[in-house]
Amino acid sequence: MQIKTDTEGMALALEWAAKGMTITAPNPRIGCVIVRDGEVIGAGHTQPAGQAHAEIQALRDAAARGNDVRGATAYVTLEPCSHYGRTPPCSNALVQAGLGRVVAAMGDPNPLVAGRGMAQLEAAGIAVAMGELANEAHELNIGFFKRMRQGLPWVRLKTAASLDGVTALDNGESQWITGPQARADGHAWRARACVMLTGIGTVKADDPQLTVRGIDTPRQPRRVIVDSRLDIDLDARILQGEPCWIVAAVDDGDKAQKLRDAGHEIILLPNASGKVDLPALMRELGRREINEVHVEAGSKLNASLVREGCVDELLVYLAPSLIGAGQGMFALPALARLADKYALRFHGVSQVGADLRILARFEQQEQPQEST
């Protein structure tokens, strides 16, 4: 493959970054390609935490192919790290390898890096540039950027409904409003998340597993259940498999102990009303290095998360059907003034099978930094 422009080089690096979609957390998904005279001589993406970053993988790939990287250009989707963490600094490795030029899509928001990586490269005589395909790079790691800047994960709330906004009949029947392609697409969004979050109402009504199925993924997202009074049935399917985090407002001694004995963790975060403090939950997830939260819950928890300002993005699948009376997406209270509506903007609309997929973001969404 011939690389003729920086845009082409970064686009290929982003393709490599996407290969690490489900494995890099809490680190960002990064890709790197090394190019000489238009030829890709090395490429790689970030491995699971504690293993090699994208730049190291690309350097190793070049060496394995017998390619000399001295004087070559490296395209990397985020500024190379310049600090010792679980691994040594990538900026050191690029300097030692003798790269001639490094193009980064964006600066690293991690305060331990924040420009130092590019400065180190420049000080070593390596030409640097930044800003190529910055928006695309930001989208790929939107949760990492938000967590680094605000200490909070990116929260994506998924729901599926008919054109008249019905998610289930009054008797609870909901399988299936949307088609198989939309359901498979929803599992792909599950797979990229660090956490799957639901509420006790959904657990009781649907007894879901809340796992990724039908998608090739090396790991399942952590499952988090909002259950203020610890009403969960100890035989619930969601409690099978990997341990869950159960967020409660009270510690019901006997049941809580049984849950802990089964390997689950109880996180106590009560608010003044005796329910779970949802903003505090998001802060706690950020503290636990969670980048992206995928919510699949009922209308009550959906509404509470929206009211508390905890949701960044809606992932809505709309089926070409009308159902009439039934359960809605959000149990929000009636407004007295239209001006009090929740403002969002469409980020993406596409057709998936017979259904529409809509991504809509609240106005407080993360924005990429200006390129330099």
Residues that are catalytic: 55
CB 326 within 8 A of CB 334: no
Round to whole Å and give the CA distance between 72 and 70.
6
- Give the CA distances from residue 95 to residues 50, 56, 106, 334, 337, in Å, rounded to whole numbers and listed in that order: 21, 12, 19, 60, 60
Torsion-angle region of 21 (φ positive above 0: left; ψ -120 to 50: alpha; else: beta): alpha
Closest of 178, 167, 177, 176 to residue 202, by C-alpha: 167
